[in-house]
Amino acid sequence: MYEVETEEIIKAQNKSEEALTNLVEKNSGLVWSIVKRFSGRGHSTEDLYQIGCIGLIKAIQRFDANYNAKLSTYAVPYIIGEIKRFIRDDGPIKVSRSIKELAMKIIELQRENLNKTGKELQINELAKILGIEKENIVVAMDAIRRPESIDEEIYDEVGGETKASRISTNKDETEKTINKICVQELIEELNEDEKQIILLRYYKGKTQSEVAQRLKISQVQVSRIEKKTLLKMRSKIA
């Protein structure tokens, strides 16, 4: 089903810059759709897009055809995670404009190098390319600090002729994918009773009576917990 896409991914993993660039371009709509969800938080959408692309490239490098999933589905948590960490770590700490500009240059260099080699540049390599002291690189990277391994925090689970036409073609599918991932994240935050009820009711298609029998509680209790849980989840999405 995904033979053509998988072939291009394999080429990208084997250091084909053209294949990797094509995949990033084809999935730019996915990145922008996720970026929109983080707009209005004091960060440039262009900056967030660059960060999101780093997550996308890492997803491409780690993708395995045996997952039996589309790249767009697999990449969503990578993109969301990369943006979330950037916002979290950049959060309340105010840094000078010059340091922030240097940090964004580093991000762009890392993205380009990931495109070409599949690896991130070391501090001494960045210092040499930018012609500045290693200490300045460390300060700038600390201002936008992210975990060294993206895998540690996230992923144990898991056309037309123009860009615009390709983006619009996949818009509905993209939104469904993002919504699904966001709901999964909300479910993971629930306590055990809430999680079981939501999974049984909305993923297994069980009636409240069937859920009550399985959990050995009354149907009234199931109804109350379900309503309360749905309200809690909706309040976090709003």
Distance CA 91, CA 83 (A): 12
- For 50-98, write each residue's pLDDT tens digit: 888 988 998 888 888 776 678 888 888 888 888 888 877 655 444 456 7
Give me the percent of the chain exceeding a pLDDT of 90. Answer: 4
53-57, 179-183, 197-201: lowest mean pLDDT where?
Answer: 179-183
pLDDT the model gives residue 112: 82
**What is the C-alpha to C-alpha distance for residues 83 and 101, in angstroms, rounded to an integer?**
17
CB-CB contact of 142 with 100 (8 Å): no
Give the pLDDT of residue 173. Answer: 53
Q: How many CA atoms lie within 13 A of 67 on its CB side?
A: 19
Per-residue pLDDT tens over the stretch 95-135 = 456 777 788 888 888 878 887 787 778 888 888 898 888 76
- Taking 80 as the threshold, does the pLDDT of residue 27 lie above it? yes
How would DSSP label each residue in 142-205? HHT---S-GGGTSTT----SSHHHHHHHTHHHHHHHHHHHHHHHHHHTS-HHHHHHHHHHHTS-
| Three-state DSSP state, 72 | helix
The CB-side HSE value for 134 (13 A sphere, CA atoms) comes to: 5
Beta-carbon contacts of residue 51 (< 8 Å; ≥ 6 apart) = 82, 83, 86, 107
Kindly report which listed range (71-85, 100-114, 180-194, 198-212) carries the lowest average pLDDT score. 180-194
Give the predicted TM-score (pTM) of the model: 0.47
Lowest mean pLDDT among 7-11, 51-55, 176-180, 194-198: 176-180
For the chain, the C-alpha Rg in angstroms (whole number) is: 21
* Dist. CA 117–CA 125, nearest whole Å: 14
Looking at residue 42, the DSSP 8-state letter turns out to be S
Class assignment of domain 189-237? mainly alpha
Among the listed residues 179, 151, 158, 160, the one whose alpha carbon sits nearest the alpha carbon of residue 33? 179
Question: What's the pLDDT score for residue 75?
Answer: 87
What is the Cα 125 distance to its own chain's centre? 27
Residue 113's pLDDT is what? 81
Distance CA 8, CA 142 (A): 35
For the cut 60, the answer to whether the pLDDT of residue 153 exceeds it is no
Q: What's the pLDDT score for residue 187?
A: 76
Q: Where are the domains of the chain?
A: 3-170, 189-237
**Closest Cα to residue 130, out of 154, 150, 110?**
110
Confidence (pLDDT) at 154: 35
